[in-house]
Structure 1
Amino acid sequence: MNRESSVPVHVQLKTQIRHLIMTGALKPGSQVPTVRQLAGFLRINPNTAAKALAELQQEGYLESRPGRGTFVADRPPTGEGKMARGIERLVDETLERARRLGYSAEEFLATAATRAPVAGARKAKRTRALVIECNWPEVSRFREELEAELPLAVDRMLVEDLTERARRDPSFVREMVGYGVVITTFFHIHEVKAALAFESVPVVALLTEANISTLLRLSELPEGTTVGLVCGTPKGTQNLLRSVQSAGLTHLKTVL
């Protein structure tokens, strides 16, 4: 969760939950975490979590069942339908603008057809990015997903390596200017910023779907289940423990 982003926190949370629904990670009819669980696990204000869930209900992605909780709607809006409606609206608006400028629909369509191959042939330049996390499996997963979804060329680094190299070699920090963005999670955002100690390269924190998915899986475990919390650093492990405790998952036994 990037609390310094211009995007409101509740919008970031909505985007993550909606993505889980659209990708099938949260299936129709499945229960979503409570406001208390979301707020505790993600360390956000309960009102923020409540606002995100309420807006997702208004948009048709979630539904409230009195006495039972909040669930994914049986027929949530599809991304394809939403995209199609957006494209139709864009085409209608553009055709109307062309008509006002004195062009016929045929002239507009002919011009659009000649422009389409040119636009499609353009490839977005990939921005260099550095992903920093506390363990290799997570940092590798982040790289794979970010490169698949965004025009990024992603390098990897562990938090402990960053702090150690920054401490031993100040010139290492200056080399970071070659990156367009440094990406970490909300667990490590302050640690990473402190190690870099400059603002010429933006440092952003991710709220990834794995966090919410993990919360879902933990909340579904039977009473008394023993859960091991493991991270690449002791601090990371303590962060995980605090998140579990803050979410009110008292039915679990945690082992560090």
Structure 2
Amino acid sequence: MFLMNAIQINRSEPLSIHNQLMEQLKYHIESGAWEPGDKLPTVREMAQALRINYNTVRMAYQELERQGYLVSEQGRGTFVSTGTRRMPEDKQETLLDLIDEALIKAKSIGITPGEFASAAYTRARIFPLENPDVRLLFSECNLADIDHYARNIEQGTGVVPDTVLVEDLRKMEWSFFKQYDLIATTLFHVAEIQELAGSHHTVLGLMVEPDYLEVLAEIARLPNGARVGLICAEQKGAEAMERVLIGVGATYPKFILAGVDQPDKVKRVFQEADLIYVSRLALRQHRGDWPKDKPFRPYVDDLDDGALRLLRRQIARVHFAKKSRGLEVEHYHSAG
């Protein structure tokens, strides 16, 4: 059922009245607040109720009809289309959480809701979400992690990176790197890949952090002095896991480390540890059965939010720089 007070127009906001009306109508339809078949007020009724121009409402209705949100029937009025795509409830909740979090952060630095809405609307129209013309190379030392972090990058930036193992990059000529706009890796490999890529590229080092719910929250429940086993493909990988955990504040457990190539140390981990984590690479490389007397958990980590935010900014910078150069070339040819 349509409720007129569900639409709020603020003339002092940077976002135009036309866009305010359009986006609010779409939101109420996509969220399911207005059901297919619900009748909207006439253009004149809407304009009078909101005290806005008749033509502003008429153009908004026409545009939403072209987009498939509304349907007009001669002599009957304008209705919510039965073919309108509605957002699933779980996605709707996630979207509202994202918006609420962003609004709270914006308010904390002095940005008004109107300024936020205008910037978000404009950014959504120009941000390169669909097939951005940015070539990104991502490198890591093993297949288990390179696949996982590449998915992190795709989900966090919209760009599908080309992936090459560090050992394969060592065989590449310098010219191989010239085809890429951006090169990224985890912090562990920045120095080596920077040397391989040369001074013409700045290699972005991305920080990795343990998953809060799957790892940190579980460790936090342990009593002081508890023993946590960390198993990776090699001892040095387990040591890297330990350094990361200590770096994020897990300083109170005693860590027991092992590589899957060290069966005696693996046996000790299962004998002595209160909680055991096994890395993705170790799970992939291990052959045979694990000791059955104690369960273990996969060690879940991801590229952290700050790293993905840095990468998004760099992708946007490259995209807009390319777009600007394209416009300059187009202008040059048209002028000639």
Q: Under TM normalisation by the shorter chain, which class is it?
A: 0.3 to 0.5
Using the size of structure 1 for normalisation, the TM-score is: 0.45
Using the size of structure 2 for normalisation, the TM-score is: 0.36
